[in-house]
Copies of this chain bind each other. A is one copy, B any other.
């Protein structure tokens, strides 16, 4: 069993690569601090992105949503005056309607994620980081923004000076997450945005402790190449938590959490400084443009884990 920690679009690509190698023995712990309510529906964007990606249903152009999905419902909602900047397709809406109903009937997010992934034929176990509501909020020029407002509506243009994971102190690690960590032969923190996707998972009481007890290789993949994020606002947000936007900065951020870091060939110069932190390195090409790239990188990570074992 391999267990991965993951956010949305970028990280889902690597999870997809891992799934290729481990279709029946992969577990993914997914950030849910981006969850939102849209028109009364509970949306879990990262859970959905991971599930759709593993089900080979995700859009090939942007990574979110479903390939070939239509937007008839959203257009109709706009006629009723609903703000429609969060783009929910028709098939996607079914997922949200289903999740919302099941939550109302008292099922947990964990149980519902399992039903959805089974419904879509995914054999990996996809787990929300917790069953409680946690909300990433970002402070910019004197006001607190909701995550999707910052990320989707405002295209992460605001300069953020503080991040909170609201509700995370009241959240608690689930039994399936603890089991997924305990049963893993290797733990992979994928190349998701550390501040927006990975730190919220690590902030759920019980998760970091379980990871620290794991006696198996724990490997992160850098989301930074040179001084820039592969995609999104990861570089700027790294600086916010006092780390430089570089492979070495990522190593310092994850020190104590991981034993190995996968960095890009462009960052080979950071290798000795990272190893000086007690973190072993794998230097390879980490940009995934094709499905073959995902499979190749995932395969290298699994071999790297073998060497660390």
Contacts and interface: CB of A to CB of B under 8 A. Distances in A.
Interface of A: 39-41, 69-70, 72-77, 79-82, 89-95, 97-98, 100-101, 104, 115-116, 119-120
30 contacts: A39-B101, A40-B97, A40-B100, A40-B104, A69-B72, A70-B70, A70-B72, A70-B90, A72-B72, A72-B89, A72-B90, A73-B90, A73-B93, A74-B94, A75-B91, A75-B94, A76-B90, A76-B92, A76-B94, A76-B95, A77-B94, A77-B97, A80-B115, A80-B116, A80-B119, A81-B115, A81-B119, A82-B98, A90-B90, A90-B93
Contact of A41 (B82, B90, B97): B97
Nearest to A97: B39
Given A40-B97, A98-B82, A104-B40, A91 B69 contact: no
Contacts of A76: 90-92, 94-95
A79 B52 CA distance: 13
A133 to B, nearest CB: 17
A73 B116 CA distance: 14
Contacts of A92: 76
Contacts of A101: 39-40
A232 to B, nearest CB: 27
Nearest to A74: B94
A79 B76 CA distance: 24
Closest 8 CB pairs of A and B: A40-B101, A76-B94, A72-B90, A73-B94, A90-B90, A80-B119, A76-B91, A79-B119
Interface centre among A40, A73, A89 (most CB of B within 10 A): A73
B77 A98 contact: yes
Contacts of A74: 94
Contacts of A75: 91, 94
Nearest to A37: B101
A91 B119 contact: no
A296 to B, nearest CB: 31
Nearest to A101: B40
A90 B104 CA distance: 22
A73 B100 CA distance: 14
A93 B93 contact: yes
Contacts of A120: 79
A193 B43 CA distance: 41
A242 B171 CA distance: 62
Contacts of A89: 72
Nearest to A40: B101
Contacts of A41: 97
A98 B74 CA distance: 11
A193 to B, nearest CB: 28
A73 B66 CA distance: 11
Given A72-B70, A90-B90, A91-B73, A39 B98 contact: yes
A47 to B, nearest CB: 14
